[in-house]
Chains A and B, each alone.
Chain A
Amino acid sequence: MCTLKAFQKKIGVNWQLYLLFLPTLAYFLIFQYGPLYGIQIAFKDFSAVRGITGSPWIGFEHFERFFGSYQFWTLLYNTIELSLYGLLVGFPVPIILALLLNQLGHERFKRFVQTVSYAPHFISTVVLVGMMFVFLSPNSGLLNQIIVAFGGDPVFFMARPEWFKTLFVFSTVWQSAGWGAIIYLAALASIDPGLHEAARIDGASKLQRIRHIDLPGIMPTIIILFILEIGKLMTVGFEKAYLMQNSLNIDSSEIIQTYVYKTGLLGAQFSFSTAVGLFDAVINFMILILFNRLSRRISETSLW
């Protein structure tokens, strides 16, 4: 009784705050935790008539079917290769860009480069992929015109499986490296200028100062962002992959996310594709936890 009263009192004083918070809470319960409840159909034989709760349990059957399917290893390989490739190329570029921008002496030139560098961030994925089709087109595309001008044969880049991942990764770099640099520039701006001053008096070159002052200074930011990126490892861009995908490059462009969309929404195999999606989400979450723990032990920086 006593604790209940204390509880009521804590809420009572601030009841209007709960009123303000209500729409947010309702959103998360309905649209975020609602689908989490729906995940159970991965272990069920779902039919729309019986509904989520009414459909019979069948255990791990869908998972077994997925693991046993001939596409399983291809999907897993494509997903992991695409995201590791993206991480390897895409993660360092904004850091390098920020370090170099930070060294530009001319303030207005620096601001101009920066403003230009994050403009592509605001271009939609559809337009970005549309631009790739335009520039890489085998008969009218700019790149192939250059190749032909130098005596080569035109390449239909968008239809070649061996080009898919490279195009995917580098178009992402083009679009988001400038935007990604902002956060590192903010971290660089908070480094004590006295350190640079002292190093300069001791005769340290710019490169030395980048290596021994700037880089250690932004290391916590780098680690946090790296863990966040790792936390998305298995869920890389459905949006772009699906747009870039066609029947000719499918061997390389079919990733778990696009497979879930096709089998689930286009093929109406709701239970099976939910199981595939759940497999992906669980692996992803485990990688995140693992890296967060690893980082906490090694560098004492972690998300939680």
Chain B
Amino acid sequence: MRKTTGDKVFDLFNIAFMLLLLLIVLYPLYFIVIASFSNPDRINAGEVWIWVNDYTLKGYHEIFQHERIWTGYRNTIIYMVVGTLINVVITLTGAYPLSRSDFYGRKFFMLLIVFTMFFSGGLIPMYLLVKNLGMVNTIWAMILPQAVSAWNLIIARTFFQNSISNELREAAAIDGCSNLKFFLQIVIPLSKAITAVMVLFYGVTHWNSYFQALIYLRNEDLYPLQLVLRDILILSQSMSEMMADQDDYESLGETIKYGVIIMASVPMLVLYPFLQKYFVKGVMIGSLKG
């Protein structure tokens, strides 16, 4: 069928809009990359636009010598690995019973969980609880208060509901397969997709989170990368520009801030093209019966 003039105009505008969108999303990211390899003086002079100007690795050189960044990196990786492991195990084991219609009390438990999505005790009672449990200034404060996300639990439950059929379970039950055995030997191997989605959702959350650390950690040796980044990118930045005495902050801040952004985002952005379909899958499952 031939396109009408109106539709042609529409398509033209649509493509132009999409190209503009690509520019708006990609240019800031691109700029950070080229700026991180450029001489800061050239950036300040406004001479970095489309390509690296006066190539230098000085910024990266300083970053590699900055011990706090490495400590932050190490801490973040520890929190991410241990945290994600706990997250995924609890989410999958918790979501499976909730997906079973013969799990007595299911409605009540769901209500219990969903309610917390809309009403929570708030910052201070949470802090006091974590403090009373003796977890302040320990790795556990970074992991246990966020051990399960209600949202992810519901996504996993929806997945189980739609992909594990009742017939399969009944057949296994006739063969004398217990619930536990069924879950471990049949459900889990059939759930690689949802496991991948959960690992990624939780993993990214751990990598990017700074709030938990801000509240619960006082000891700088425990700081995750994001909190170190905050000191470098935001505190030094606003200080150097607002305070008269700026030499100290400026020399550090100006040269390394672009490189630091790259360092913090590289693992995510490199893996991203390969992993993005799993993220999308996660959102799709969630939207089925959200």
| Interface residues, chain A, with chain B CB atoms under 8 Å away | 10-11, 13-14, 16-21, 23-25, 27-28, 30-39, 41, 52, 97, 100-101, 103-105, 109, 113, 115-120, 122-127, 129-131, 133-135, 137-140, 142, 145, 148-149, 156, 158-159, 174, 178-179, 182-183, 186-187, 200, 203, 205-207, 221, 224, 231, 238-239, 243, 246-248, 257, 260-261, 264-265, 270, 273-274, 277-278, 280-281, 284-285, 288
In angstroms, Cα B279 to Cα A183, docked, is 11
Q: When the two chains form the complex, which single residue of B21, B113, B119 contacts A28, counting CB atoms closer than 8 Å?
A: B113
- Chain B residue nearest to A248 in the complex (CB): B242
Chain A CB count within 10 A is highest, among B123, B211, B254, for B123
20 residue pairs of the A-B complex, CB under 8 angstroms, read: A13-B102, A25-B94, A36-B125, A52-B128, A100-B18, A104-B18, A119-B29, A122-B268, A126-B264, A127-B233, A127-B261, A135-B31, A156-B241, A159-B238, A182-B283, A183-B283, A257-B123, A264-B123, A277-B124, A280-B122
Compute how far the CA of A165 lies from the CA of B98 in the bound complex, rounded to whole angstroms: 41
Question: A113 CA to B18 CA in the complex, in Å?
Answer: 7
* Residue B168, interface by CB 8 Å: no
- In angstroms, Cα B276 to Cα A116, docked, is 10
* Closest Cβ neighbor of B284 among chain A residues: A186
Which residue of the partner chain, among B14, B93, B126, B234, contacts A103 with CB atoms under 8 Å? B14
Complex: how many Å from CA A205 to CA B28? 36
| Minimum C-beta distance from A104 to chain B (A) | 7
Q: Decide yes or no: A206 and B10 within 8 Å by CB, A14-B104, A126-B230 being known contacts.
A: yes
CA distance A126 to B207 in the complex (A): 11
Say yes or no: A205-B10 contact (C-beta < 8 A), given A11-B104, A27-B90, A288-B118: yes
Give the residues in chain B near A116, CB-CB below 8 Å: 22, 25-26
Among residues of B, the one whose C-beta sits closest to the C-beta of A24 is B94
B288 → A minimal CB distance (Å):
9
Contact check, B6 vs A20: say whether CB atoms are below 8 A apart.
no
B21–A124 touching, CB < 8 Å:
no
Partner of A38, one of B31, B129, B241: B129
Contact of B123 among A17, A103, A273 (CB under 8 A): A273
